[in-house]
Chains A and B, each alone.
Chain A
């Protein structure tokens, strides 16, 4: 297992280098730069701004300078938000996105699994049909629509929660619901499929033959097998959910990370963009590694390579 982790880490370093290099050059190829704005600045100001952002030295010097600082975990000052370093921006946003994400995930896993199991056990009956219909709807309806509907319902019609903002537990409920809903739907479908497959296995029949109750068979013997597809879905899903959602964070004015990747790219905030790409790479990579590890734990037949 140690060897596995070391090997993974080595690949991680290579991945980060490749992704960062690619992003470094791509973002510089796009027209404009961090100093572009509606008002045209005189050439001498633009050149000074370039110099301030260290963009006037040859490209290879910028490249090596960037990686030199990256090794010391120094991502520099944001090009567009000069009051903050990229490290500070990530440190401010990540806990917010992550904690919202964890809540959404909890909700999604709990609801999704329950729905999936019920659905599989009552296959083809009313419960199954209505749960699967709801799940399909949950996947198909975009989150801004879900958000608008819950805001109308639970902020204005029945004023239970604040409309937007951050800092109080009540602020978490609606965004966590909207963020988690599509994931819950996916998990419901995946766990239903996994469950159905497991329920037709011989060892389940053996368990029934031994006289175990349906409840014991389903929860003790079948559930574990049904979880495998859910886990492989959860790896990338967790990465996505932890790094924040652009739409949800915008609608509910949540100071998370979700907005940064797109905004930084649109605004040509070179340093922040590279920092965000680094966060995504790291989270996605560690989640995939964790999923591989959890496979091994859930299913002893799986070998780690």
Chain B
């Protein structure tokens, strides 16, 4: 036996290797697509409710369609599933009229109820949707999403199991009633005996929360409890029935479908941009039957997914490619030109560039900035430069001395030579910042800031008690270890030292730790970036209201808060509203809890035979608007070897 084994071993090994090699080579080749593009890193999800990124948006916009579409030329709202819409006199009610021929890919019509279902799903706390706040303009939506209830509210109680006969992944059985009493208790309360809680303690405390409700249902008072801790064996909770969640009744939220073709929104305040917001992909509808039948993630598999967009999901290979095929049920199918589109998952921008240069792809949406100066020198007609609604900036931790002093913060800003950083250090691909809100929002003009004035900087610093940087402690500058961040921070470190004599130490943290440190205000100065969600200054300014989720500077300003939270939302006249926004930005730039540095541009390469791809500041390029000039493609590829 052993002897045979010994003799056979080399042959067996060789055969095994050859088989493996055969398997590696013998994959089925897929037919080339009409249009192939690089879509960055593998997308997080195709579920509109939980996706947040650009690459996700490109795919979701192809598979689903919202009430309105954005015209890629000027981002104005054009009819989508809604054929038309109108606003009430006080612009607090918007009525959408759905088209008759909008169909799901299984042939059933898209109804107003589908939207109500999808918006409820987006707002459901259990969905944990990051973009749920986009619907906070709607009456009652925030309360529903945050799970807040008050005595006297009509509430819905969701049990753990779906009602009998319902699909397996439907919501739990619902009971409806009126809240009579509400109480909360904390098991082993970490806050006991403490007056102030850190963020982590606050989280820990909420995890130990048991919420107890007494609710009148059909004239009978019943008791329910929710929370993870509710399952502990504590006699005091025994009288309560454990349920999944208790929310305000969704019927009290201002989203209604009086009939199949009409959808009505009641808004808290007049919000003129709400119509445009329904074209933002988290607000796209999903197909209720498939979601409830298959559950997540199975409903998103190519064989199960039902969408209402211009394309179907034909194939999805993880971290490889997504193949989209034109949907025949789409109402505007005759204007969708490309039949098959491949979106490749390519992590490295340099690899993407190689593939573009080697003519394997037609479009690469991000060009590595290091190579940009080289590409610009070549003077090529397929390189496009577009302004983009984004900013790179520094946060100051205004709770730490000496950064508590606005003069110190302003001095640090005045000492930065932004044009030099953009041109010489970062070598292009960016515009030096002249305000916090990026350039390009129509009708809005930012106040001017961010001049380079070393004299004034030194004067301000001296006035603050640190002439020539003397007596000032060493500051730390936190960054997230990316190559760009490192270069930028080193440049600023040098400029601050050179101009002001301020010593700065760079602190490099990997991404997760960096996020935590910024969140917990464990830094002096930290690099940051922000991409606008919609075309309005508000998307850049509202993060700095007191206690805002993305404020992270400790800065608080009563007048700023009043404008952003009270005055601007109530202003009906769009021009006056933008003037208020400008006032808010002036406050922000005078106080300087943040230092604007530069506005990154979007640089991308796209073949000149690809038509219908327009520059816009949200970098939105709907795939169904694209078409290919075949004659030009022929001309360009003919002299080359066919691959």
Contact = CB atoms under 8 A, between A and B. Distances in A.
Contacts of A43: 202-203, 206
Contacts of B262: none
Given A44-B147, A99-B23, A165-B344, A38 B42 contact: no
A251 B351 contact: yes
- Interface bin, chain B: 35 or more
Given A89-B318, A102-B20, A103-B24, A44 B146 contact: yes
B108 interface: no
Interface stretch (A80-88, A127-135, A180-188): A80-88
A172 interface: yes
Contacts of A41: 130, 549
Contacts, number: 175
Interface of B: 2, 5-6, 9, 17, 20-21, 23-25, 27, 29-30, 42, 44-47, 50, 52, 125-130, 132-133, 145-147, 202-203, 206-207, 228, 296-297, 300, 317-320, 344-348, 350-352, 354-355, 357-358, 360, 510-513, 515-517, 519, 529, 549-550, 552, 641, 643
A151 B206 CA distance: 54
B15 to A, nearest CB: 12
A165 to B, nearest CB: 6
A45 B203 contact: no
A93 B345 CA distance: 14
Contact of A93 (B129, B318, B641): B318
B434 to A, nearest CB: 24
Nearest to A41: B130
Contacts of B519: 40
Interface of A: 30-32, 36-52, 56-57, 77, 80-85, 88-89, 92-93, 95, 98-100, 102-103, 105-106, 151, 155-156, 159, 162-169, 172, 250-253, 255, 259, 266-268, 294, 297-298, 300
Given A93-B318, A164-B355, A85 B297 contact: yes
A34 to B, nearest CB: 10
Contacts of A37: 52, 515
Contacts of B319: 92-93, 255, 259
Given A36-B516, A82-B45, A103-B24, 7 more contacts: A103-B21, A106-B21, A156-B358, A164-B354, A251-B351, A253-B344, A253-B347
A95 B20 CA distance: 10
A104 to B, nearest CB: 10
B345 to A, nearest CB: 7
B29 A48 contact: no
B355 A45 contact: no
B406 to A, nearest CB: 24
B512 A52 contact: no
Given A253-B344, A297-B9, A105 B128 contact: no
A159 B512 contact: no
Nearest to A176: B24
Contacts of B47: 82-83
Given A99-B24, A166-B320, A56 B207 contact: yes
Nearest to B300: A83
A31 B203 contact: no
Contacts of B6: 297-298, 300
A155 B510 contact: no
A155 B355 CA distance: 10
Contacts of B207: 47, 50, 56
Contacts of A50: 207
B44 A105 contact: no
A207 B129 CA distance: 76
Contact of B348 (A159, A172, A253): A253
A84 B519 CA distance: 29
Contacts of A259: 319, 347
A82 to B, nearest CB: 5
B52 to A, nearest CB: 7
B346 A164 contact: yes
Given A52-B128, A103-B24, A155-B358, A253 B351 contact: yes
A39 B133 CA distance: 13
Contacts of B354: 151, 155, 163-164
8 contacts: A40-B549, A43-B203, A82-B297, A83-B300, A162-B355, A164-B360, A172-B25, A250-B348
Contacts of B145: 44
Contacts of A165: 344, 355, 360
Nearest to B643: A162
A102 B145 CA distance: 51
Contacts of B133: 42
A31 B199 CA distance: 13
B351 A36 contact: no
Given A31-B513, A167-B27, A83 B297 contact: yes
B129 A47 contact: no
Contacts of A98: 20
